[in-house]
Structure 1
Amino acid sequence: MLVAENHAVRDELIGRIVWRLLIPAFFGLPLLGAWMWLATRRGLQPLDAVAGQIAIREPSRLHALTPAEAPEEIRPLVESINHLFSRVEHTLEAERRFTADAAHELRTPLAALGIQAQVALRAQDAEERTHAIQQLQAGADRAARLVNQLLILARIDPEKGLHKQPVLLDHLTEEICAAHGTMALDKNIHLELETAATVVSGNADMLRILLRNLIDNAIYYTPAGGRVNVQVAENSLTVTDTGPGIPAHEREQVFRRFYRLAGQEAQGSGLGLSIVARIAELHGARVELADGDGGSGLMVRVLFSSHATSPLQS
């Protein structure tokens, strides 16, 4: 049986179907695209507001962003940016305080150097001139000590995390004590060292600075003929001297920068223990102050966490 089909009817039917599909699409797609564009623009307006606030603000303006009606999706982004601004503002404020304090502290020794130089120039005899030059040298040494401490503070302040590795604390302590041998001999100070083989997880450069400040301070403030004892135990480092010590009610204050005890003959920078405390903090350690042997002098002990230290097996 044969069945005949009219191609013209089929083609006409296909054409009608195609036109019915294309005409709505022809008019609908542009409208849909325009609607999507408007919706996207409206949704991105809070981001544009944030970008606009950041683009026009001065570098010194670090207050929080306040986009109007920020949708839930971008609030974590805005909060993160505001948190970053807060941290940057805190860092800049710390730098401003550090610069102001440094300028204030440097003004006094520099003025003293100028006065001593004038005294040396106006000296009438060799003895007076020699004394003035000696005072000038002592002032220059104090200024150099202060500048060195300021540079150390500027270096360690930005540190958030340290590259740590096993450090032979006993060997490092021996190295620093040997370097201070001449300083101790010049003041007729007996420098003793007791060590137990100990490994500390830390940064060798920073621990070297910590040791240098502790031993340097102990020798500096101990009168001639005194004694400084340095001891390395399994999880602690202790430096004890026979100097004037620190009254119990002032021991918390000495960790503040530029804090000096009244009535001391030796004039320090007021930075040594603040540097020690900062380095100890970076190593997860704590610093304790107590009276020295017999209730006189000062004992400074740095206590490392037990998981950060381990005795070396011989």
Structure 2
Amino acid sequence: MRSMRARLFLILIAATGLVWLSATAWVYLSTRAEVEHVLDARLMEAARMVSSLIDSQEIDTAVASLDPGIMPDVRHNPYERQLSCQIWSLTGTLIGKSDGAPAERLSDHADGFAERRINGSTWRVYAIRDEKRGVQVLVGDNLDIRARLVRDMVKGLALPMTLILPSLAGLLWFGVGRGLKPLSQLAAGLEHRDADDLHALPQAGTASEIRPVVAALNGLFGRVAEARERERDFLSYAAHELRTPLSGLKTQAEIALRTDRAETRMLALTQIVTAVERTAQLVRQLLAMAEAEAAPAAGLRPLDLASVAKEAVCGQEARLRAKGGTFFVDPSLAGVSVFSNETLLGLALRNLVENAVSHSPPGGTVNLVRTEGGIAVEDEGPGMPDAEIARATSRFFRGSNRTPVGSGLGLAIVEVCAEKLGGRLTLSRRRPAGLRAELHLAASANS
């Protein structure tokens, strides 16, 4: 059910109905018990009255008085004269009975209460045995009439309650609507809010049940505002970074076209190649950053860490070999399995390796080593001062030891991937020279 109001209304109706039925059952049971107690007491008193009349030798008067006064025809009024009386001799002879009493003996027991079924009806009977007079008095009450009395009493209570039910349903519907009014007002305010309006909703005066929703929405607005600010900064930096090499390309192309000197033309063409490489690198990393931010953190599965590392090395092996360098892949990575996202982990390792190759000196070695929490990439380049390490993952940050084709996005991409994987990136200076970038994964590597 989509309507919260309807859902709450049905819950309240069901709860009210359950309480109502429970109360009706309780009234029915308690009323029946009380009625049985009162009517049993009446049976006992009637039997004692007849027995006392017999003791005073007024048996004929007793029988006569029972017929018109206590046991009339129940066809006219079902609750009048419902008692039946029988007087039996101890030898088994019926001495007398009230009008309407069955001819069959009401009970075979000697004294006290008992129940017996006669002609399809169950009778509640009280017996008094008089050994002195040689008689037994039986006074009975038809239990069908008792049950009808209890039903009529409960019906008299239930009927007004049933008639009130529509009014109660209307009051509940109105009350639920009034109770949800703050939520409706909040929804109306959000519906008319401009898409660029991300200021926090006021929490003062809001209902305590709505306050967590308002707080969560304010937190969401804050995160959206931060994301928009990051996007604006990113686009601004990207536009600036792209504008610089494009302007340089145009300038160098004009120089190459206008000069007659071969050396100048060759220098201009070299600068054009460098600018193209830098622009291509920037575009690749912008796309990589977009891929890292758009990639879902789900899709985790067991991955072979050595295979992912070798794929990252394969893409940069030619570049490093051209500088006379080599890769060292830790043999202990073989057989190590990590529970991770293949796209994000591969993107992070490729950027770490690419960054290490870019800063590696001629003849240097780039190491991929296993760590307790994941994998580390080390180079033998100039490294970074401690002050710059703290800012190294900022977008478009290029330290003092920058490379000609760097864009300042590589480590920022790795950090985005690490956060999405539930891990982190740690940078530190390597002795005697170089940088160590350690990728800590959320799930420990297991061999």
Output the CA distance in 2 between the equivalents of 1:4 and 1:299.
Answer: 106
Is contact 1:218-1:228 (8 Å) kept?
A: no
Q: In 2 relative to 1, CA 100–30 (structure 1 residues): closer, same or farther, beyond 3 Å? A: same
Output the CA distance in 2 between the equivalents of 1:179 and 1:37.
Answer: 67
1:269 correspondence with 2:407: yes
Is contact 1:50-1:67 (8 Å) kept?
A: no
1:13-68 deviations in whole A, cap 9, x for unaligned? xxxxx9xx89xx6xx89987876666455434323321221122110112233377
1:288 correspondence with 2:426: yes
Report the secondary structure of 1:70's partner residue: coil
Match of 2:396 in 1: 258
Give the % identical residues. 35
What amino acid is the match of 2:408? G
1:93 correspondence with 2:264: no
Output the CA distance in 1 between the equivalents of 2:350 and 2:311.
Answer: 10
User: Between Structure 1 and Structure 2, how many residues are aligned?
Assistant: 295
Output the CA distance in 2 between the equivalents of 1:115 and 1:47.
Answer: 61
Match of 1:102 in 2: 238
Match of 2:367 in 1: 230
Match of 1:190 in 2: 326
Higher mean displacement: 140-149 or 281-290 = 281-290
TM-score normalised per structure 1: 0.79
Q: In 2 relative to 1, CA 227–61 (structure 1 residues): closer, same or farther, beyond 3 Å? A: same
Q: In 2 relative to 1, CA 47–135 (structure 1 residues): closer, same or farther, beyond 3 Å? A: same
Report the secondary structure of 2:329's partner residue: strand
Q: In 2 relative to 1, CA 52–107 (structure 1 residues): closer, same or farther, beyond 3 Å? A: same
Is contact 1:46-1:70 (8 Å) kept?
A: yes
Q: In 2 relative to 1, CA 281–43 (structure 1 residues): closer, same or farther, beyond 3 Å? A: closer
Q: In 2 relative to 1, CA 115–204 (structure 1 residues): closer, same or farther, beyond 3 Å? A: same
1:43 correspondence with 2:190: no
Report the secondary structure of 1:302's partner residue: strand
CA RMSD of aligned residues (A): 3.3
TM-score normalised per structure 2: 0.58
Higher mean displacement: 68-77 or 136-145 = 68-77
Higher helix share: 1
Structure whose CA Rg is larger:
2
Output the CA distance in 2 between the equivalents of 1:285 and 1:131.
Answer: 45
Q: In 2 relative to 1, CA 168–3 (structure 1 residues): closer, same or farther, beyond 3 Å? A: closer
1:52 correspondence with 2:169: no
Higher mean displacement: 71-80 or 201-210 = 71-80
1:178 correspondence with 2:335: no
Output the CA distance in 1 between the equivalents of 2:166 and 2:423.
Answer: 67
Task: Kindly report which structure 2 residues correspond to 1:1-314, keeping only aligned pairs within 5 A, or say none.
Answer: 3=73, 39-66=175-202, 69-158=205-294, 161-196=297-332, 197=334, 198-223=336-361, 225-233=362-370, 235=372, 236-262=374-400, 264=402, 266-293=404-431, 295-304=432-441, 307-311=443-447
Is contact 2:380-2:433 (8 Å) kept?
A: yes
What amino acid is the match of 1:222? S
